[in-house]
Amino acid sequence: MEGSDLIDVLLNVQENDEEIGVSLSRNNIKAIILDMFLAGTDTVSTALDWTMTELMKNPKEMKNVQDEIRSVIGTHGRLTEETIEKMTHLNAAIKETFRLHPPAPLLRSRIYLRTVPVKLQYQPAYVSCPPLSVGSA
Ligand code: HEM
């Protein structure tokens, strides 16, 4: 579905539910869209705030990132996913920010739905896997 957005895809699934094998109610679609807004807004703004904070605390790296953005944009004219990949300083700054200040806990706890072997031991079904929550200090 070239040129289609998330809502187009969800409505298409709803309309062709028998063919696709998934049925989505109007409420399901509303919940998915709300989920996307909640998951995608606070996380991104927190990540941006911390990235700017860390760069302000490290003026040398701030200058590296600024120079890099100017040189890449100067060559390509506009920002695309491809040009962002070329920005190694910017990517490193964002990754370091995720390491220092993860906007959300990593590896939320999960429950095994069936007995599975993990590291040579069987984990019984319906037992919680230990969460490895990472908080930011
Ligand atoms: C800096 C930005 C973001 C961070 C740090 C982040 C972090 C996370 C984390 C840690 C999880 C849980 C992963 C897991 O334990 O399985 C998650 C799940 C999810 N995120 Fe993000 N997220 C970000 C941006 C977004 C955006 C922009 C969207 C959508 C527009 C989004 C949608 C979701 C959804 C739908 C899930 C649930 C996936 C699933 O359980 O199948 N996130 N995110």
Q: Which pLDDT belongs to residue 129? A: 62
Q: How far is the CA of 20 from the centre of ligand 1 (A)?
A: 25
Contacts of 97 (CB under 8 A, 6+ apart): 47, 50, 51, 54
Q: How far apart are CA 117 and CA 125, in angstroms?
A: 11
131 CA distance to ligand 1 middle (Å): 16
Q: Phi, psi at residue 111, to the nearest 5°?
A: -120, 130
Residues contacting residue 110 through CB under 8 Å, at least 6 positions apart: 128, 129
**Integer Cα distance of 105 and 46 in angstroms:** 13
pLDDT in tens, 46-96: 999 999 999 999 999 999 999 999 998 887 778 888 888 889 999 999 999
| pTM exceeds 0.85 | no
Residue 136 CA to ligand 1 centre (angstroms): 17
Ligand 1 first shell, C-beta below 6 A: 35-36, 39-40, 43-44, 47, 103-104, 106-108
Where are the chain's structural domains?
A: 6-104, 109-137
